[in-house]
Amino acid sequence: MSVIEDALRKSSAQQRPRSNFVASGWGSRVTAAPAPEVQSRHFRAAATDPEIIERNHVLLGVSDVAVARAYKILRTRVLHRLAANSWRSVGITGTTVGEGKSLTAINLALALAQEVNTWVFLVDLDLQRSQVGSYLGMNVDFGLTDYLTGQCELDQCVYDIGVRRLAVIPNVRRAENSSEFLTSPRMGEFVQTLTDESPRRVIVFDMPPLLASDDVLAFGPRADSHLLVVSQGHTARRTMANCKEMLAEMNVIGVVLNRSTEHNDSPYY
């Protein structure tokens, strides 16, 4: 893990606020007390599929308490890091394909929304291999690329999946020129609109792998922070080393060791 630790050390030494978020006591969000009833906007209702959810190990269909506990620990750590820096968005990325980025993004978003004072947007930013909608069993007409290409308005691609405090922006159509989309002015407007939403929301971006394209590098500055997913038995040390330079340019707030076999009380984490 020394490469990861080194990358994190370098990255945290360079950490700097990137959003124009005005500090207003996010730290107080991490509390057991329920928030006063807050009016949040209603989004389009979208059904999910419980069987698909369970098959994909999405937290909503997981009964293993150790798994739920692992995600709660992750969410609280993320909330602390965001609050400490007055940040509000976190991109979930990794070095190569299949390390568990999308599952981590979905389950982190769900765990965050379980926290009574935290509102969440979950956004599928892997515009070439979008999985958020399919892992949740959503069958919807519009997604993020439709908004980015002007085929729909933002309200038409933000969905309420029946989980309190969570809104999901999946992607339906594959974008060939994904990094151009991610750096487009319309994408900037999209991030700004999510950032301006009231009540304030944590924004979780499901990102593609660092080494598959320039998407993460291109979008990187638009996310306040990044979480790196590494998969036990999958992520090679050499691959991590190849990503060192890229990681040093981002505010990496932590590393998630996915599929860890170290904890015997859970088959997954």
Ligand X SMILES: Nc1ncnc2c1ncn2[C@@H]1O[C@H](COP(=O)(O)OP(=O)(O)OP(=O)(O)O)[C@@H](O)[C@H]1O
Q: Which residues bind Mg ion (CB under 5 A)?
A: 101-102, 126, 131
CB 203 within 8 A of CB 89: yes
Interface stretch with ligand X, choices 6-14, 18-26, 97-105, 163-171 (CB under 6 A) = 97-105
Q: Which member of 27, 50, 98, 199 binds ligand X (CB under 6 A)? A: 98
For residue 20, what are its two tokens? 């124009």
Residue 222 lies near ligand X (rule: CB under 6 A): no
Number of neighbouring beta carbons within 10 Å of residue 81? 19
Sequence-ordered strand ranges (E) for 74-140: 89-94, 119-124
CA separation for the pair 248, 243 (Å, rounded) = 9
Q: Which amino acid is at 249?
A: E
For helices 65-85 and 101-114, give the axis angle rounded to 10 degrees.
Answer: 80
What's the min distance (Å) between Cβ of 1 and Mg ion? 23
CA separation for the pair 164, 100 (Å, rounded) = 24
What's the min distance (Å) between Cβ of 101 and Mg ion? 5
Residue 133 lies near ligand X (rule: CB under 6 A): no
Q: Which member of 91, 94, 143, 220 binds ligand X (CB under 6 A)? A: 94
The partner in contact with residue 21, picked from ligand X, Mg ion, none with C-beta cut-offs of 5 to 8 angstroms by kind, is none
Which residues, listed in sequence order, are joined to residue 202 by a DSSP beta bridge? 120
Residue 226 lies near ligand X (rule: CB under 6 A): no
Residues between 51 and 80 with contacts to ligand X, criterion CB under 6 A:
56-57
Interface stretch with ligand X, choices 43-51, 110-118, 124-132, 183-191 (CB under 6 A) = 124-132
Q: Taking CB positions, which residue lies at the least distance from Mg ion?
A: 102
Residue 259 lies near ligand X (rule: CB under 6 A): yes
Sequence-ordered strand ranges (E) for 65-184: 89-94, 119-124, 159-160, 166-169
Q: How many residues bind ligand X (CB under 6 A)?
A: 18
The partner in contact with residue 100, picked from Mg ion, ligand X, none with C-beta cut-offs of 5 to 8 angstroms by kind, is ligand X
Report the residue number, 195 or 257, with the smaller CB distance to Mg ion.
Answer: 257
Residue 90 lies near ligand X (rule: CB under 6 A): no
Q: Which member of 65, 73, 97, 116 binds ligand X (CB under 6 A)? A: 97
Rounded to whole angstroms, what are the CA distances from 230 to 45, 91, 97, 120, 193? 33, 14, 10, 24, 31
Q: 3-state DSSP call for residue 139?
A: coil
Report the residue number, 96 or 195, with the smaller CB distance to Mg ion.
Answer: 96
Residues that bind ligand X (CB under 6 A): 56-57, 94, 97-103, 126, 129, 131, 209, 258-259, 268-269
